[in-house]
Amino acid sequence: MSCVVTELIIDGAGCASCVGKIEGALKAVSGVQHAEMNFAQRTVSVSGTAPSDVLVQAIERAGYNAKVSSAETDTDELDEKEQADLAYYKKLMRETWIALALGAPLMAYALITGEMSVNTTTERIVWLIIGILTLGVLLASGRHFFVGAWKSFLNHSANMDTLIALGTGTAWLYSMVVVFFPEAVPAQARHVYFEATAIIIGLIDLGLALEIKARGRTSEAIKRLIGLQAKTARVIRDDKEMDLPIEHVLLDDLVRVRPGEKIPVDGEVVEGHTAIDESMLTGEPMPVEKAKGDEVVAGTLNKTGSIVFRATRVGKDTALAQIINMVKRAQNSKPPIGRLADVISAFFVPVVMITAVISALAWLNFGPTPAIAFAIVSATTVLIIACPCALGLATPMSVMVGVGKAAEAGVLIRNGEALQTASKITAMILDKTGTITLGSPKVTDVVVVSGRTELEVLQLAASVEAGSEHPLALAIMETAQEKAIELSKASSFNAITARGVEAEVDGRRVLFGNEKLMHERDVTLNVAGDDFVQKAQSLAADAKTPMYFAIDGKLAGIIAVADPIKEDSISAIQRLQKNGIRVIMLTGDNRDTAKAVAKKVGISEFVAEVLPEDKAKKVQELQMAGEVVGMTGDGINDAPALALANVGFAIGTGTDVAIESADITLMRGSLHGLADAIAVSKATLRNIKQNLFGAFVYNVAGVPVAAGILYPVLGILMNPVIAGAAMAFSSLTVVSNANRLRLFKAQEH
């Protein structure tokens, strides 16, 4: 045995003392000559003759997890899968050609001469040779059906292989009986079906091969996501930069990323600033500015600057890895609509077998001569045409494509059930703050009394509010920062509950608050015929929060703050309403602000001053009224309502995957994600219904026709070859129809 070096990645080694334990465990394995662990990288290289799985087991016995370091990333896994699929495709195509090489000329002969019977000795010899050739085809091209049928028979289960093996086997056996003992069957029934046997095998192999090709396309979305992962990262350790495979990047490692490179793992910027294109994850086309302290996310593309960041999530914990995982799971989950098909396909094959027997018996009892030939043909045809695959594939294939399509638009759907329910939503509750609006208030207006300047008022206001955590204070501070206003020190600070604040700044007494506060301190709000109360009211009507500002007992101006509505909220809400969805806004804000915002975005139904627990109540209320309710919120404050709603939508800001309580997560802030999610789920459900309908009709109509139900009336009995073709292409049709979904575009305005 040759001596090889194996690299293993260790998981669960927390301290340096683990090194000795792991190395000891490995050295105890027979065939290991040398084992050395690199604790920093959590890798161990082992030389010797022991196979890698034995090494992994030894490490696992020692209490750690290990895996072989090569070829273990998702990308490689995908490549391997593609290669395996390709190999299988080639094998099936080879088998198709072998089967058709015999079947096609035979079929041509049958069509031209209309003659496949066995009468003379010469014919018997020729057909015997052809029969043996057909057996060769069954073995070369159809062995997998027979092996599969036998194994599952032993296992008391039956599947597609069972039907094909029984069908073609019956046809071949009957033909061989005719060849060997022509006397055993009536003269008119001395017919052979070798051509049907060969062609059916060929067609079904062809159908399977094409299905594999088509299936490959259904997983395009996940391939794209996996393709986003960088392969290496430039890690700075001990002041040295080195390129490491991303699996070796550790928490708190410093990573350098240059312009044009992908972010390898999640992290927080510590040096430099740049713009990052996050569209591949969020669907948001505009690059996002990042500077020290900002989060960067694996898989996104660094555009302009060079940055160094500290790794905060690596390996399977990165947002991208979690997204991939979630999409994979959702793609394999089934919406309730597929359950009936599941129940049917669980009983399907034995039922078809029984149908074949009954049909054969019916022909034998009541059929015209040669009854035995009709019985064999109908039984074979029933077995061949009944394909449970179409039924079984109808739902999963569409879900696969639909969930992937949604992910491309930055919409993560948790499972098939969420997908199905989302297509039925009749009412959508939108939380105001952070959902319709940006969630962070900004100073919108500064109105000053003549003689005062905006800058002066802002400077004093910011000085008073410095250090306060109140959202309104933060908005003022931000504006002051933007305008590079220097703050002064405030003294004798006094916060007056539900009124405002007062303080002394630069020797001036400053009062900042609402109308009540001004009245209590006898501040006149009508300055030289200019009514500031009216101004404040008109600001309030515009969804802004106005606050009066007085200096030394005299009104100086009004500062208005508002939480700006997201740019595209209006158009997104219109899209929802156009789809016939009742849109309702909930907010903890006061009625005036709520009313103004609702009016601006075109929502007629709103509830103001709701407490978080009341949101869940509102969901329930709508459900009682028979609505299918979607609830959209930020996922943290709104968790109970999100959980209670038929479909909970969490609005992610950027790529924060706080998605535990939501059925559907929108990766970017835009409400268009909602309309997209609903559009995709509707399209997917439509696609599933088409598939299920097609599969049901195909089986419900195909099986009786194959049994010969049309014969007494129209004199039609289906040719087994036609059945073979129909069966071969039934699942291909389903997969192709699902693939049509890939072309679906959730139109965004």
Partner 1 sequence: MLIINIAGVILIALIIWWFWLYKPQAEQMGDDDLVVVVENGVYKPSHILMDSNDTHDITFLRKDASPCAETLMIPQLEISETLPLNKPTKIHIPPLGAGEYAFHCQMQMYKGTISIK
- Contacts with partner 1, residue ranges (CB under 8 A): 77, 80-81, 84-85, 87-88, 91, 144, 147-149, 151-161, 208, 211-212, 215, 328-329, 332-334, 342, 345-347, 349-350, 353-354, 357-358, 360-361, 364-365, 388-389, 391-393, 396, 415
Q: Which residues bind Cu ion (CB under 5 A)?
A: 160, 389
CB of 389 to Cu ion, least distance (A): 4
Nearer to Cu ion, 348 or 548 (CB): 348
CA separation, residue 68 to residues 59, 79, 218, 244 (Å):
12, 17, 30, 16
Question: 479 is in the binding site of which of partner 1, Cu ion, none (Cβ under 5 to 8 A by kind)?
Answer: none
CB of 141 to partner 1, least distance (A): 15
Residue written as tokens 């002051």?
Answer: 480
CA separation, residue 310 to residues 244, 247, 254, 300, 715 (Å):
15, 16, 5, 16, 78
- Position of minimal CB gap to Cu ion: 389
Burial of 463 (0-12, 13-18, 19+ CB in 10 A): buried
Question: 353 is in the binding site of which of Cu ion, partner 1, none (Cβ under 5 to 8 A by kind)?
Answer: partner 1
Nearer to partner 1, 97 or 347 (CB): 347
431 catalytic, yes or no?
Answer: yes
Question: 354 is in the binding site of which of Cu ion, partner 1, none (Cβ under 5 to 8 A by kind)?
Answer: partner 1
CA separation, residue 714 to residues 137, 363, 708, 709 (Å):
35, 16, 10, 9
Burial of 42 (0-12, 13-18, 19+ CB in 10 A): buried
Question: 211 is in the binding site of which of partner 1, Cu ion, none (Cβ under 5 to 8 A by kind)?
Answer: partner 1
CB of 722 to partner 1, least distance (A): 24
Is the Cβ–Cβ distance between 217 and 737 less than 8 Å?
A: no
CB of 150 to partner 1, least distance (A): 8
User: 253, 431, 563, 589: which one is catalytic?
Assistant: 431
CA separation, residue 115 to residues 109, 155, 195, 666, 740 (Å):
8, 41, 12, 65, 43
Residue 79 CA from chain centroid, whole number: 20
Question: 541 is in the binding site of which of partner 1, Cu ion, none (Cβ under 5 to 8 A by kind)?
Answer: none
Nearer to partner 1, 391 or 718 (CB): 391
Is the Cβ–Cβ distance between 218 and 397 less than 8 Å?
A: yes
E strand spans, 552-596: 554-562, 582-586
| 171: Cα within 13 Å, side-chain hemisphere | 30
Question: 396 is in the binding site of which of partner 1, Cu ion, none (Cβ under 5 to 8 A by kind)?
Answer: partner 1
CB of 681 to partner 1, least distance (A): 19
Burial of 405 (0-12, 13-18, 19+ CB in 10 A): buried
CB of 335 to partner 1, least distance (A): 12
Cα separation, 373 vs 180, whole angstroms: 16
Is the Cβ–Cβ distance between 254 and 270 less than 8 Å?
A: yes
Nearer to partner 1, 34 or 339 (CB): 339
Taking Cα atoms as reference points, which of 477, 672, 660, 641 lies closest to residue 574?
Answer: 672
CB of 637 to partner 1, least distance (A): 27
H helices, E strands: number in the chain: 24, 28
Question: 158 is in the binding site of which of Cu ion, partner 1, none (Cβ under 5 to 8 A by kind)?
Answer: partner 1
Cα separation, 274 vs 711, whole angstroms: 75
Nearer to Cu ion, 160 or 616 (CB): 160
Nearer to partner 1, 79 or 552 (CB): 79
Residue 323 CA from chain centroid, whole number: 8
Nearer to partner 1, 144 or 256 (CB): 144
Question: 69 is in the binding site of which of Cu ion, partner 1, none (Cβ under 5 to 8 A by kind)?
Answer: none
Nearer to Cu ion, 152 or 279 (CB): 152
Going by C-beta distance under 8 Å and a sequence separation of 6 or more, which residues neighbour residue 27? Answer: 34, 35
CB of 623 to partner 1, least distance (A): 24
Cα separation, 287 vs 276, whole angstroms: 5
Question: 357 is in the binding site of which of Cu ion, partner 1, none (Cβ under 5 to 8 A by kind)?
Answer: partner 1
Nearer to partner 1, 218 or 681 (CB): 218
CA separation, residue 474 to residues 454, 466, 486, 500, 504 (Å):
18, 8, 16, 15, 20
Is the Cβ–Cβ distance between 43 and 6 less than 8 Å?
A: no
CB of 424 to Cu ion, least distance (A): 30
Active site residues: 431
